[in-house]
Structure 1
Amino acid sequence: MLKDLTAVRAIYPDHEWEIVEEEFKPQYNLRNETIFALGNGYLGLRGNLEEGWSGPPGDTIEGTYINGFYESEPIPYGEIAYGYAERSQTMLNVTNGKLIRLFVGDEEFRMQNGAVSEYRRTLNLRTGILTRSLVWRSPRGKTVRLRIERLVALGQKHLAAIRYEVTPLDCDGTIRLVSLLDGDVGNLTATDDPRAGSSLTVRALQLQSKRTDGTYLELMQRTRNTGFSVMAAAEHCLTTESGYTLAAVDGRVATGVEFAIEARAGVPIRLEKYLAYATTRDLPEEGLSEFGRALLDRAKGGGFAALREQQRQLLEAFWSKADVTIVGEPGIQQGIRYNIFQLLQSAGRDGKTNIAAKGLSGEGYEGHYFWDSEMYVVPFFLYHHPGISRKLLEYRYRILDQARRRARQMAHSKGALFPWRTIDGEECSAYYPAGTAQYHINADIAYAIRQYMQATGDWEFLKEYGAEILFETARIWADLGEYIPQRGNRFCINCVTGPDEYSALVNNNCYTNLMARAHLEYACDTAAWLRQNAPAAYQSLAARIDLAEEEIDAWREAARRMLIPFDEASGLYLQDDSFMDRAPWDFANTPAENYPLLVHYHPLVIYRHQVCKQADLVMALFLLGELFTPEEKRRNFDFYERVTTHDSSLSPCIFSIVASDIGDVAKAYRYFMATARMDLDDLHGNTHQGIHVANMAGAWLCLVQGFAGMRTANGVLSFNPRLPEAWREYGFKIAFQGRLIQVRVDRRGAMLTLLEGEEMTVMLQGETVLLQKEIRGFIFDLDGVLTDSSEYHYRAWQRLADEEGLPFSRKENEQLRGIPRRESLLIVLKGRKCSEVQLAELMERKNRYYQELIQRITPRDLLPGVAELLAELRAAGLKLALGSSSKNAAEVLRRLGIDAMFDAISDGHSVSHAKPAPDLFLDAAAKLGLPAAACVVVEDAAAGIQAARSGGFLSVGLGPVTRVAGADAIFPDLKGIRLADILAALKAL
């Protein structure tokens, strides 16, 4: 039963690119630790406070996690049978390196002691930086300002860093910063809720060694049972104008360093802490220490600012393809971007790890990987960063031998059976009716491989990994199913569990049989393709796994005769053979507090009733939608909606997609609302246990495959878009077969734009559409492109520098090309400390000098070739815009006499983020009413070229190749350049 969300109030204020906590409330600490978690697919840090937690122990989960690093114990059974899962696997909470304790005199900073003001914690989704700022007044009246930044490096998976700045505001004296590596950590123990806690009975990590060497710290620990070692190391850099002393700190299972600084009021103290984590699952044990030290030396040498900039650039590249825009509901825009950001932080990208149900944000489900990966997360990455999807699928190949062993345990003489819950490939679900019995996982993985191949055409993956997975898993169906005479000799698959965990050990689960049929057919088609196109690879694989042609023939026959349970009288596909024979669940008399049912009723009570935990047959309506008529979809959706509780977070998004498919956009929107902000608004009341990864990917699926109706079939991409009433517009990008396509949907309809790759045909609302690159507008920078106002800028900066006694030269002026005024001023100041008020005064003074100088500009100051090119572009019917960081751009255009030639101006007043952010050019394109792909940016600065590329624009660079190397076409200047020259250069791409 879908909850009414109309009265739900947002927990965090609406910010399109930020999650902000404006007031610290201890009672919400657990939830916020999840929301402000950081990760990079390998390493995850919960959003714990650097100083540690001083409240009740149950109000914090101090968590640091490494994807795939686990402990295992025998699973205790009161009664055991052959083939039960034998050992648990639990992703471990490892050494806490976040700890930095602050002492002002002898008073320790704690959020709940003294008084906190000006508090703000911000997770910036564009930069990947978590920032906490506040002013703390100690119980004895000493006041300090804190600003703490944290990142987990997306480009260096073993690395994290913290920048901790404290400024005493009204006190001199000793300030101590104590930085620790604390190995006295453990996991949550199991609770009455099977979704939370672990089964570990003792602390998993044992101390091997610890050391302190000046500012370098290192802690080595080993798991008791799996025998894995983990190294945590830290290096520090203290920046202060005062003297300080250094002392080692020793603990039983901890090591640290203390900085004692003689502080002065108003003078900031900055500590940068670099953290490295690595395990013997990555490197030989004897190399861990050397690896960690070298990594931290490099990080310290480059500094926190360099890591922060690398993080920003990586996220800029990611968002340039992955971003989804929604116009009309800022809260939903924030929610979907937060979901996308957390998916990036959670997904393993090394082919050895996958994506846990809670990502790297918490300990729910013990860090296990489920079929959620293939059905929800792989599609999300597939259509904008397919390389990540490939790595997630490569993980399945890595555990293929374990799947083969599991198949033998389950009495299958051939083939591979993938586990329901696992980390390292072994089944670790102790409850087999809802675990091992979910044979559909084999078909789900096959489906994901098929989708990957349709979207990428990555035949090397198919030959090296995919085909072997397909064939080995297909063998299970042939062995599991039987031709049953009483069912007309149809191929039946008995005693399995489908996606719906409230119906276990059933015969002929419809979803399972439909997906198994598709799996067998695809395996046969893949074998035929390999025989035709890669015969040597096929023969090698067939010999290695002893695959005979007779087996493949048997697969095709089983698919042809597969039983699909269907009731002619009602026109319903039966979830399983007995689903309609069960008594309907008494929803009317089930109290709201008794949901989810699994924690309030014995499984047998649930199993004997007609009730679904989540989408089951409805999921088949989505994944295999081409098999059903619109009337069948509507009829079956309506029936199964009435009996589904949505007790699983996997469910609402699937119902949203199918509701869109049958044209019920209002209902699709209501289901989407249950997914888009599930964690941000804590809709299930369990965000403290960790994020809901599959639901986050499901929100993206709702929009792209639901509202936009995107599907792939037989290598053809199609869209059938709809627009929710509350939105004015939405948009996203899709990578498909080497192309990048931008999709925009508004009240007028859908606009598809080819951004990258060769022309292609797609289907749009049943009609064939040819996508080609088409240029309809030009966006010009000002300085160095239309006129050389750099001389005026130089003279204005030179005058300011002379007045301030600062050295400045023409060579240094070149560094300012394309850089906004504030950033330029900071370069000119060469590290001189200034308050914000002083900076504002200096910028205003420089601008005043510049404005005085530009009064001399006339049309004669147009650069050669500009007037002729602008006239030609206007005559060709192309739209023109100016995209300049200058706040004086409009005045300069007027004085040049070309202001009437421009349809739009985007300048320093238009956007908040300057180049190399793409905002300036995106704003200009929006004012022209054109998509980025239809515009060419003409620039002479590296920052401008970078901005154009990240925004999806074609770019023309003017000047030396060394400066504009990233441009799509390069000319020395515009002298003699015509439209045909530009088009020819761009066509050569």
Structure 2
Amino acid sequence: MNQDYIKPDNWSIIEEGFDSENMKSSESIFSIGNGAMGQRANFEETYTGETFQGSYIAGVYYPDKTRVGWWKNGYPEYFAKVLNAPNWIGIKIYLNEEEFDLATCKKVSKFRRELNMQEGIYTRSFQAVSANNVEIDVVVKRFLSLDIDAVGAISYSVKVLNSDASVVFEPYLDSGITNEDSNWDDKFWNTTKVNADDNRAFIEAHTMKTEFKTCTFMQASLEYDGHEVTGVPLEKTDNFVSLKFEQNVKANTSITLTKFGGYVVSRNHPNEELVQVAKNSLSEVSAIGFDGLMQKQKDAWAAIWEMSDIVIEGDTKAQQGIRFNIFQLNQTYLGTDSRLNIGPKGFTGEKYGGSTYWDTEAYCIPFYMATKDDKVARKLLKYRYNHLEKAIENAKKLGFSNGAALYPMVTMNGEECHNEWEITFEEIHRNGAIAFAIHNYFRYTGDYSYIPEMGLEVLIGISRFWHQRVNLSKDKNKYVMLGVTGPNEYENNVNNNWYTNYLAKWCINYTLTQLDKVKNGYPDDYHRIIGKTKLTDRECDKWKKVANKMYFPYSKEHGVFLQQDGFLDKDLVRVDELPKSERPINQKWSWDRILRSPYIKQADVLQGFYFFEEDFSTEDLEKHFDFYEPFTVHESSLSPCVHSIQAAKLGRMEQAYNFYLRTSRLDLDDYNKEVEEGLHITSMAGTWMSIVEGFGGMRVVNDKLSFKPQIPNQWKAYSFKVNFRNRIIKVNVTAKETTFHLKGTEEVTIRVNGKKVALLPDELTTV
């Protein structure tokens, strides 16, 4: 398969030439979304070649019963599946009474897809000779409205080239769909009502078990030679409904079907009003029209790019990569609904259940804080507070007590739904990422109110978990943590993972500090929280003891903290000594061999150095980077971005640039040979961090923004904007100088390369 077929372009993702081998990869890469729903780039018309059909509704899922060979106590009962939703984009096309299908055409030429990221519009065009020799030229435009987020729009134009022909369009809705990702081949949807009314159609259906009620809807109109062609309801079955438009088309003339469709859901509207809400939405977009709605789409994306764009001069592939990442993040989550979160595949596939991981807190929150405002990041933190009781339940199932909270590795509703035991039970570092995000949010936004209102209760639950999860080693006279898995999932069930132990110590100390702060500054909240949690000074003293006597494995020989107790027992063969034919090891080696190897899937000790860099010197970082990076295979999407930031901090810009290119083009160039399953949405926020925190050197130090700008040799310049405490600062970096532009009304003091710099409103400051 050709993995380098995406054309370099500053603002668009472009594929030229029809190659069925690339089909499923392109369906992922050209996916579109609007925060409320999304879909893979499946063809509207019938395609009998290999394809991965996928349309998804935010927050709608199915609890697919866990399938394991050997049941263990504490296993989640189910794995929450993001559901392939009823299909509204479908349009069957008949040319002289024969169904059109690109897979059976005699010839396909000038095939081109373009995802215009600046405008949020996906276009596909081609010429084809059908199996019955009708020659056509096709242009299809599609987008999911940001303004009216229940609705998507399609314009499908066909020009008959070689002779007059009968053209039939049959736009349809279909709820008889299945998931690619299913444990038991369960039926996920139950269709209750199918209806067609003039040029509109509706399917009412609900998910099994979770009972999410939905109305999938469409409206279609056909225009030919300046006139509207009347359609009629054609077919209606238990889970399918279509309309029919028929027209004899003269050679070299075009005919265009416009289709609006989408979903309304019981998450947002009363069950009995779903069809009426759908009708109202259709009436609203009909009044605006396709072109009017498309203009609103362009305006909405222009507003997003105004704040979130990163401009790179002199390197088209790097520019395309970062814009693709920023675009997909905004398609997935816009911060309008605190019940939603950011799934690792977003709306582009079904792997991982499409649920919430620790990626949100570790990687995504910084992006949303800096490119939106503190309200959006606060919603992501509120999401975790709303699930605190479930986190306490999750811990209780594993034998913890007294309000100890273990946040789930994977979740849709706060309940753990991941069922690989070495991750479900052991990858407990996710708790620490949530506590770190609370700290990071306050550090960046200056909004302390979240902690007394919600965050402190979360911190108490997490600290209780850490206190119960350790035990005192008589041999070491230290508290140890046994049987864990760190971020590096190529070491399972290890003792004293350094990163997890360090997080536990930090979490406890941070919680104790916040308890004092809330007690002195927010006495009403403090008494409410103490009353609710029944926390005592004696319990806090026990926590303190654990934090003060936490064990950290260390090698005197190498002068580094060890990933875990047994790391030096491994055969320490560096990655560059591995034959290329054996990479990626997760697809070439047995799991047993991987677990015994020294190879690191993603940053582990270095992840801790990234989170808590103020605790370690640059010399410490250099020593640990030089020790661990040679053993790192970067087979996690979350790995290259952290290494890029740290290589930049060490002044190793060529290495930092290579890591940046890998993280920014992970999906476009399909580094891990798996893009057909969906995109790596959450790691895309790490790409943004690679530039802003890596090359730009942005940090918050002593309550102020600090920058240490550098630029890769491959670039002429780059610029980005950050919203820091409701002040927008634009940073532009070249090899010679860095300029800062402050939008606001008050002067702001920042640090650049360690020196104080005063920024005046609407003035350019050059360093």
Q: Which bin holds the TM-score, normalised by the shorter protein?
A: over 0.9
- Within the alignment, does 1:115 sit opposite 2:107 as a pair? yes
Distance in 2, Cα, partners of 1:517 & 1:657: 24
Look up the match of 1:370.
357
Distance in 2, Cα, partners of 1:411 & 1:271: 60
Structure 2: gaps spanning 5 or more residues: none
Look up the match of 2:175.
183
2:85 to 94, 101, 105: 94
Relative distance call for 1:430 and 1:395 in structure 2 (3 A) is same
Look up the match of 2:673.
685
Look up the match of 1:481.
470
Relative distance call for 1:140 and 1:574 in structure 2 (3 A) is closer
Specify the code of the residue in structure 2 equivalent to 1:317.
A
Is the Cα–Cα contact under 8 Å of residues 348 and 391 in structure 1 kept in the other structure? no
SS of aligned partner of 1:610: coil
Look up the match of 1:174.
166
Question: How far did 1:344 drift?
Answer: 0.8
Is the Cα–Cα contact under 8 Å of residues 575 and 599 in structure 2 kept in the other structure? no
Deviations 1:568-588 (A, max 9, x none): 342101112222233335857
Distance in 2, Cα, partners of 1:526 & 1:701: 27
Look up the match of 1:353.
340
Look up the match of 1:223.
207
Deviations 1:544-577 (A, max 9, x none): 2223344344434433333233233421011122
Distance in 2, Cα, partners of 1:143 & 1:604: 56
SS of aligned partner of 1:411: coil
Look up the match of 1:966.
none
Is the Cα–Cα contact under 8 Å of residues 761 and 770 in structure 1 kept in the other structure? yes
Specify the code of the residue in structure 2 equivalent to 1:354.
N
- Within the alignment, does 1:71 sit opposite 2:58 as a pair? no
1:923-942 alignment, distance < 5 Å: none
Question: How far did 1:148 drift?
Answer: 1.5
Look up the match of 1:750.
738
Look up the match of 2:219.
235
Question: How far did 1:9 drift?
Answer: 7.9
Range that drifts further, 699-708 or 139-148:
139-148
Is the Cα–Cα contact under 8 Å of residues 236 and 300 in structure 1 kept in the other structure? no
SS of aligned partner of 1:68: coil
Range that drifts further, 740-749 or 342-351:
342-351
Question: How far did 1:10 drift?
Answer: 4.2
Is the Cα–Cα contact under 8 Å of residues 29 and 60 in structure 1 kept in the other structure? yes
1:699 to 687, 692, 704: 687
Is the Cα–Cα contact under 8 Å of residues 655 and 668 in structure 1 kept in the other structure? yes
- Within the alignment, does 1:500 sit opposite 2:500 as a pair? no
Is the Cα–Cα contact under 8 Å of residues 245 and 261 in structure 1 kept in the other structure? no
Question: How far did 1:655 drift?
Answer: 1.3
Distance in 2, Cα, partners of 1:9 & 1:61: 18
Relative distance call for 1:557 and 1:706 in structure 2 (3 A) is same
Look up the match of 2:278.
292
Distance in 1, Cα, partners of 2:232 & 2:106: 27
Specify the code of the residue in structure 2 equivalent to 1:123.
L
- Within the alignment, does 1:32 sit opposite 2:19 as a pair? no
Relative distance call for 1:229 and 1:676 in structure 2 (3 A) is same
Distance in 2, Cα, partners of 1:507 & 1:594: 28
Look up the match of 1:577.
565
Distance in 1, Cα, partners of 2:557 & 2:539: 37
Deviations 1:205-251 (A, max 9, x none): 22222111111111122333333333211122333335544232224
2:420 to 431, 440, 445: 431
2:436 to 447, 460, 484: 447
2:186 to 202, 227, 239: 202
Question: How far did 1:264 drift?
Answer: 4.0
- Within the alignment, does 1:148 sit opposite 2:140 as a pair? yes
Deviations 1:882-940 (A, max 9, x none): xxxxxxxxxxxxxxxxxxxxxxxxxxxxxxxxxxxxxxxxxxxxxxxx99xx9xxxxxx
- Within the alignment, does 1:213 sit opposite 2:197 as a pair? yes
Distance in 1, Cα, partners of 2:583 & 2:182: 22
Distance in 2, Cα, partners of 1:599 & 1:117: 35
Look up the match of 2:459.
470
Is the Cα–Cα contact under 8 Å of residues 17 and 126 in structure 1 kept in the other structure? yes
Look up the match of 1:607.
595
Deviations 1:158-189 (A, max 9, x none): 2211122233445445321100111121111x
Question: How far did 1:632 drift?
Answer: 1.4
Question: How far did 1:252 drift?
Answer: 4.5
Relative distance call for 1:304 and 1:547 in structure 2 (3 A) is farther
Is the Cα–Cα contact under 8 Å of residues 613 and 646 in structure 1 kept in the other structure? yes
- Within the alignment, does 1:164 sit opposite 2:156 as a pair? yes
Question: How far did 1:589 drift?
Answer: 7.6
Is the Cα–Cα contact under 8 Å of residues 585 and 610 in structure 1 kept in the other structure? yes
Look up the match of 2:302.
316
2:534 to 532, 543, 546: 546
Is the Cα–Cα contact under 8 Å of residues 244 and 262 in structure 1 kept in the other structure? no
Distance in 2, Cα, partners of 1:751 & 1:258: 59
Specify the code of the residue in structure 2 equivalent to 1:426.
E
Specify the code of the residue in structure 2 equivalent to 1:277.
Y
Look up the match of 2:75.
84
Specify the code of the residue in structure 1 equivalent to 2:256.
R
Distance in 1, Cα, partners of 2:550 & 2:296: 53
SS of aligned partner of 2:408: coil
Look up the match of 2:522.
534
Distance in 2, Cα, partners of 1:604 & 1:574: 21
Look up the match of 2:326.
340
Look up the match of 2:507.
519
SS of aligned partner of 2:669: coil
Specify the code of the residue in structure 1 equivalent to 2:112.
R
Greater relative contact order, per chain length (Cα 8 Å cut-off, separation 6+): 2
1:384 to 367, 371, 385: 371
Is the Cα–Cα contact under 8 Å of residues 237 and 300 in structure 1 kept in the other structure? no
Distance in 1, Cα, partners of 2:699 & 2:557: 31
Distance in 2, Cα, partners of 1:354 & 1:16: 29
**Higher Cα Rg, which structure:** 1
Specify the code of the residue in structure 2 equivalent to 1:427.
E
2:313 to 327, 338, 341: 327
1:255 to 224, 232, 241: 241
Is the Cα–Cα contact under 8 Å of residues 125 and 337 in structure 1 kept in the other structure? yes
Distance in 2, Cα, partners of 1:171 & 1:388: 55
TM-score normalised by the chain length of structure 2: 0.94
Deviations 1:345-394 (A, max 9, x none): 12263111211111111122221321111111121212111333222222
Structure 1: gaps spanning 5 or more residues: 1-7, 189-196, 777-929, 935-989
Relative distance call for 1:173 and 1:609 in structure 2 (3 A) is closer
Distance in 2, Cα, partners of 1:90 & 1:210: 25
SS of aligned partner of 1:691: coil
Is the Cα–Cα contact under 8 Å of residues 348 and 392 in structure 1 kept in the other structure? no
Look up the match of 2:448.
459
Specify the code of the residue in structure 2 equivalent to 1:11.
Y
Look up the match of 1:662.
650
SS of aligned partner of 2:706: strand
Question: How far did 1:60 drift?
Answer: 0.4
Distance in 2, Cα, partners of 1:706 & 1:626: 15
Distance in 2, Cα, partners of 1:730 & 1:10: 25
Relative distance call for 1:714 and 1:38 in structure 2 (3 A) is same
TM-score normalised by the chain length of structure 1: 0.74
Relative distance call for 1:169 and 1:316 in structure 2 (3 A) is same
Distance in 2, Cα, partners of 1:224 & 1:101: 29
Is the Cα–Cα contact under 8 Å of residues 351 and 398 in structure 1 kept in the other structure? no
- Within the alignment, does 1:277 sit opposite 2:269 as a pair? no
SS of aligned partner of 2:102: coil
Question: How far did 1:125 drift?
Answer: 0.7
Specify the code of the residue in structure 1 equivalent to 2:39.
L
Is the Cα–Cα contact under 8 Å of residues 574 and 630 in structure 2 kept in the other structure? no
SS of aligned partner of 2:204: strand
SS of aligned partner of 1:486: coil
1:629-668 alignment, distance < 5 Å: 629-668=617-656
- Within the alignment, does 1:48 sit opposite 2:42 as a pair? yes
Is the Cα–Cα contact under 8 Å of residues 199 and 243 in structure 2 kept in the other structure? yes
Distance in 1, Cα, partners of 2:124 & 2:4: 21
